[in-house]
Amino acid sequence: MARPLAIRMPVSALRVCLEEWLSRPCGTRLCSRTAWGLSWDSTSVPARQRPSRTVPEDAVLKALERALRAALARPKPVSDLYLEHVTLAMRAYVSSTRPPAPPAPCRKLTAAQQRRIQRLVVSRLNGPISLRELAQDCGISSGHFSRSFKQTTGQTPHQWLLDQRVEHAKRLLRSKSSLTEVAGACGFADLSHFIRVFTQRTSQSPTAWRRALT
């Protein structure tokens, strides 16, 4: 009579074996009971094949392990169907408790994308510019654009756009244009909006800033 298979490892190590098994190609999973990661014996398996890490014991996996231990301890061979059902249950549980994958690293905008944004903003400073327009000009989604823009400039698109409007206002304040005309030419909603944003950005009102030029 063939010696019955047994699980001689703690459930924490069994969970690691299951995760390793899940990463294998489907065609190799049912080759043998060893392929399921259920018959490893830490006293006989070479060190390089033993689980290299452990995780805290889990009550659900512990219960499934007990069911496998009882089945594999019987003299009669355990059917592959039974092993598949139990292991699929473990697979579903492990998948549901596995921590989410870390977000993909955010890449900076390319030099070409930055030039396109600059050209678009300069040509539209006298009116509204939406985040969607800026993102479309770069060929990426609005969310991706916002993250990449912040990674590139250290500012949100809105903050950066306000700075561009203020810098343009400074150039116009050197002329004889009225504050109302400057506000309209720089895309501010109205005069009060222009004065508020300009003062926040420069710590001076437009009038005081213009006066300091003389």
| More confidently predicted of 86 and 29 | 86
Overall number of domains in the chain: 2
Are the C-beta atoms of residues 144 and 124 closer than 8 Å to each other? no
User: Are residue 77 and residue 133 in the same domain, yes or no?
Assistant: no
For residue 105 the two structure tokens come to 């690293």
Q: Residue 75's Cα: distance from chain center in Å?
A: 50
Tell whether 90 and 115 lie within a shared domain.
no
- Do 115 and 170 share a domain, yes or no? yes
pLDDT in tens, 33-87: 333 344 434 444 445 444 444 445 678 777 877 777 777 677 666 555 666 667 6
Same domain, 164 and 207: yes
Residues 47 and 89 reside in one and the same domain: yes
Cα-only R_g, the chain? 33
Answer whether 207's CB lies under 8 Å from 196's CB. Answer: no
Same domain, 77 and 123: no
Is 28 contained in some domain?
A: yes
Q: Supply the pLDDT for residue 4.
A: 38
Closest C-alpha among 84, 80, 10 to residue 50? 10
Structural tokens at position 84: 């598949």
- Domain span at residue 40 reads 11-97
| Together in a domain, 139 and 84 | no
Q: 16: pLDDT confidence band, cut at 50, 70 and 90?
A: very low
Q: Are residues 193 and 128 in the same domain?
A: yes
Indicate whether 3 belongs to any domain: no
179 vs 107, residue with greater confidence: 179
Mean pLDDT of the chain: 74
Residue 114 has what pLDDT?
Answer: 93
Tokens at 85, concatenated: 């059902």
Joined together, the tokens standing for residue 45 give: 């398996």
Task: Select from 47, 72, 97 the last residue of a domain.
Answer: 97
Sequence-distant contacts of 197-202: CB under 8 A, at least 24 apart: 197/162, 197/165, 197/166, 198/166, 198/169, 201/162, 201/163, 201/166, 202/166
Instruction: Specify the CATH number for the domain of residue 135.
Output: 1.10.10.60
Looking up tokens 């989604």 gives 141
Per-residue pLDDT at 97: 66
**What pLDDT shows up at residue 32?**
35
CA 153 to chain centre: 20
Q: Is residue 102 part of a domain?
A: no
Same domain, yes or no: 147 and 196? yes
Share of the chain above pLDDT 70, in %: 63
Q: Which of 97, 124, 153 is the last residue of a domain?
A: 97
Q: 75 to each of 55, 140, 211, how far by Cα in Å?
A: 31, 62, 98
Per the CB < 8 A criterion, the answer to whether 126 and 185 are in contact is yes
79 and 116: one domain?
no
